[in-house]
Amino acid sequence: MSLLVIVILGIVEGVTEFLPVSSTAHLVLAAKFLGLPQSEFLKSFEIVIQLGAILAVVVLYGKELSASPRVLSRVLAAFLPTAIIGFLLYKAVKGIFLESENLILWLLFAGGLFLIVFELFYHEKEAAISRMEDISCGQAVIVGLFQSLAIVPGVSRSAATIIGGLCLGLKRKAIVEFSFILAVPTMLAASGWDLAKNSKSFSAGQFGLLLTGFLVSFAVALWGIKFLLVFVKNHNFIPFGVYRIILALLALRAFQH
């Protein structure tokens, strides 16, 4: 892969990681349109590059998280279901799900449709939880179960987590920020596990490509986080649902030719 391709993939990851559009689906589609052949390195790159987005969360929320053991305990409670399910399904994710472009596209489409329908019927309650500190351990575990759905590429970790939180009675800003922080242990575990399994097969040049993608995704993810926080103040997720449907249909049509 050339440096330009790595930069493009890093930008795609940074922009889409925290938006409810599935960053993994976007990386798979970007690789397809760039003509990149499927390889073990590309699959690992699409997972490990998320570390850059993690660093963006740590930079923006590290001080707040370290000052709030209660939030940290809730994040760990939400992480456990994902860790267990992710460990059990690791081989299926890399060997089956990431190989099936049609599955990813149909899940991208279905997820967009679900976002639209959900937002049309969702109404926030006056007593909705507005602070991450007020999330209970039970609620955190349920949010983690929702996040586990995103093990399948195309579902969107951000969308699944946020919708789960909204269903549990959290205010939009509270669950969006909780989703950001929950991404840290989730992506660290996924990336660390993948590196442990596959790093021995990487060349020095490939590690350099990983580092470049990491730095680009970090810089762009800083913008992505701030954008979503501003966006949710006055908007719902219907525009993202429409975008997912259009992208999925265009990609399905392109792949058929």
Residue holding tokens 């409670």? 77
- Distance between CA atoms of residues 249 and 254, nearest Å: 9
With a pLDDT cut of 90, the percent of the chain lying above it is: 40
- Distance between CA atoms of residues 161 and 20, nearest Å: 9
- Specify the pLDDT at position 142: 95
Instruction: Compute the average pLDDT of residues 77-84.
Output: 90
CA distances from 249 to 154, 182, 242 (A): 13, 31, 11
- Distance between CA atoms of residues 244 and 247, nearest Å: 5
- Specify the pLDDT at position 104: 85
Could you tell me which residue, 171 or 151, shows the higher pLDDT?
A: 171
Range of the domain at 159: 3-255
Is 95 a residue whose pLDDT tops 60?
Answer: no
pTM of the full predicted structure? 0.85
The overall average pLDDT reported for the chain is 85
* pLDDT-based confidence at residue 28 (cuts at 50, 70, 90): confident
- Specify the pLDDT at position 209: 82
Count Cβ atoms within 10 A of the Cβ of residue 132 and give its class: 0-12 exposed, 13-18 middle, 19 or more buried. buried
DSSP 36: P
Do 140 and 77 meet the contact criterion of CB atoms below 8 Å apart?
yes
Across the strands, what pairs with 11?
A: none
- Distance between CA atoms of residues 220 and 218, nearest Å: 6
Do 9 and 49 meet the contact criterion of CB atoms below 8 Å apart?
yes
Q: Into how many domains does the chain fold? A: 1
